[in-house]
Amino acid sequence: MSSSSDRRALLRTIAFFPPRLVTGGTQRHLLEVLKFLDRSRFRPIVISAKSGGELGAAIAATGVELVRLDLGKRVISADMVRCVRETAALFRARDVDVVQCFQWRPALIGMAAARLAGRGRVIAGRRSAPVERGVRAVLEDLVVRLADRVVVNAEALRPRGAAAARTDVIPSGVDTDVFRPRPDARAAMRTRLGFGNDEPVIGTVGRLEARKGTATLIEAAARLAKKGLSDLRVVVVGDGPLRDELPALAARLGIADHVAMLGDRSDVPEILAALDLFVIPSRTEGMSNALLEAMATALPVVATAVGGNPEVVAAEATGVLVPPDDSIAMADAVLRLLTTPTLASALAVAARRHVEERYGARAMVRRLEAIYGAVADAAPLSVGRAAAVNGRA
């Protein structure tokens, strides 16, 4: 066998199972992994259970194969059985070594397909925690128990019990060449958004769902408007089930004209450049990509003290921490930073330096690659790969 054939036979195939391909922290994490993954060692495939999503084009642009299963609204259904069978056939055809699952819905399909195909060891990725115990929490626990390996992005998400020994904590990472201070982009983006150069602008990026706490940010903004910040502007980037409820809340609080709901955007680095301050109002969190991106952009940040946020934000050193669901504390923290520019600037500089030193995307992917290699080597070799190995011996 030629050396090129040997390389192809020994190339590890990684099947990634993200949630729907919409803008979110997990999806942006996947794009970073695909960008920096060593293609001389790993061949990635992305499998999306649901159709739609604007990130499909971004994945295709990386040259990665994208497969859509078009699962219906009901996860537990005959349609899911079809998806499992199709995925198992794909695993056999592509000789999949490792199945990297994100969140419990795609994980159920990926795990079942791996077992049916007899191909691929499963890595369960946990990047957030449910706000309350319920069906989702039970299913996530089940996925963690059944997975061959578990990867979490914050120590706060490490599972208990036997799964803890199979768990690796790999903090999220961001591309600090993309997310960087952009003072030259500030004025242009503010003009596009309809903001004046002197107006205070705060913002957040995240999925519009209850656990992200965006309602608390809007309530805090209403308090600030009543305190005299009548020119305050709030930018909300993201989409989700609360896309109608949150603007209605802003209207009830009398600040509809102050809140810009931008939906999913592909120009987040430029939008961050237009802000004076970034807020993560989450009620629960893993290690927020949005938080790291804002810090890498050298923005002062206010974050809730939940999940992995305190692992990233050193209180009063690289940002300000506040309790979750507390619009008064959030408003007070935002006001303090907006009215104390020397403090805000010092925190912003420290935040950028902290992310550069500890949360770069390239280092994150190298750590993931080590796990992918170890997990793949633990899996039984396929006939073709075994022949390649024996031929070299």
How far apart CA 346 and CA 360 sit, in angstroms, is: 21
Is residue 41 classed as helix, strand or coil in its secondary structure?
Answer: coil
* Residue range 159-163: mean pLDDT, rounded: 87
Q: Which residue has the higher pLDDT, 21 or 111?
A: 111
**What is residue 380's predicted lDDT score, i.e. its pLDDT?**
46
Residue 1 has pLDDT above 70, yes or no: no
According to DSSP, the residues that pair with 44 across neighbouring strands are 14
**What is residue 53's predicted lDDT score, i.e. its pLDDT?**
74
* Paired tokens of 221: 């903004």
* Paired tokens of 55: 């990130």
Diameter over CA atoms, the chain: 76
* Reported confidence tier of residue 235, pLDDT bands at 50, 70, 90: very high
pLDDT tens digits along 80-119: 899 999 999 999 999 999 999 987 778 889 999 999 999 9
Residue 2 has pLDDT above 60, yes or no: no
Residue 266 has pLDDT above 90, yes or no: no
- Among the listed residues 33, 201, 45, 200, the one whose alpha carbon sits nearest the alpha carbon of residue 110: 45
- Domains, the chain, ordered by start: 3-173+360-386 (3.40.50.2000), 183-358 (3.40.50.2000)
DSSP per-residue codes, 34-57? HHHS-TTTEEEEEEESSS--TTHH
pTM of the model: 0.87
- Among the listed residues 13, 96, 21, the one whose alpha carbon sits nearest the alpha carbon of residue 59: 21
How far apart CA 58 and CA 4 sit, in angstroms, is: 29
Task: Spell 53-70 as b/e; 16+ CB within 10 A means b.
Answer: bebbebbeebebebeebe
pLDDT tens digits along 285-316: 999 999 999 999 999 999 999 999 999 999 99
Give the H/E segment covering residue 130: none
Give the H/E segment covering residue 259: strand 259-263
Query: Which region among 81-85, 104-108, 216-220, 262-266 has the lowest average model confidence (pLDDT)?
Result: 104-108
* Reported confidence tier of residue 133, pLDDT bands at 50, 70, 90: low
Cα distances (Å, whole numbers) of residue 351 to 141, 181, 183, 338, 345:
33, 11, 16, 17, 10
How far apart CA 87 and CA 114 sit, in angstroms, is: 8
- Among the listed residues 320, 306, 349, 376, the one whose alpha carbon sits nearest the alpha carbon of residue 128: 306
**What is residue 75's predicted lDDT score, i.e. its pLDDT?**
63
Residue 319 gets which letter from DSSP? B
Residue 315 gets which letter from DSSP? B
Residue 387 has pLDDT above 50, yes or no: no
Residue 9 has pLDDT above 90, yes or no: no
Per-chain mean pLDDT for the chain: 90
* Paired tokens of 369: 């690659």
**What is residue 389's predicted lDDT score, i.e. its pLDDT?**
34
**What is residue 390's predicted lDDT score, i.e. its pLDDT?**
33
Cα distances (Å, whole numbers) of residue 108 to 69, 73, 350:
13, 15, 41
> Which residue has tokens 């399909």?
109
Query: Which region among 35-39, 67-71, 179-183, 298-302 has the lowest average model confidence (pLDDT)?
Result: 67-71
How far apart CA 64 and CA 51 sit, in angstroms, is: 17
How far apart CA 66 and CA 48 sit, in angstroms, is: 8
Q: Which residue has the higher pLDDT, 386 or 257?
A: 257
How far apart CA 223 and CA 237 sit, in angstroms, is: 21
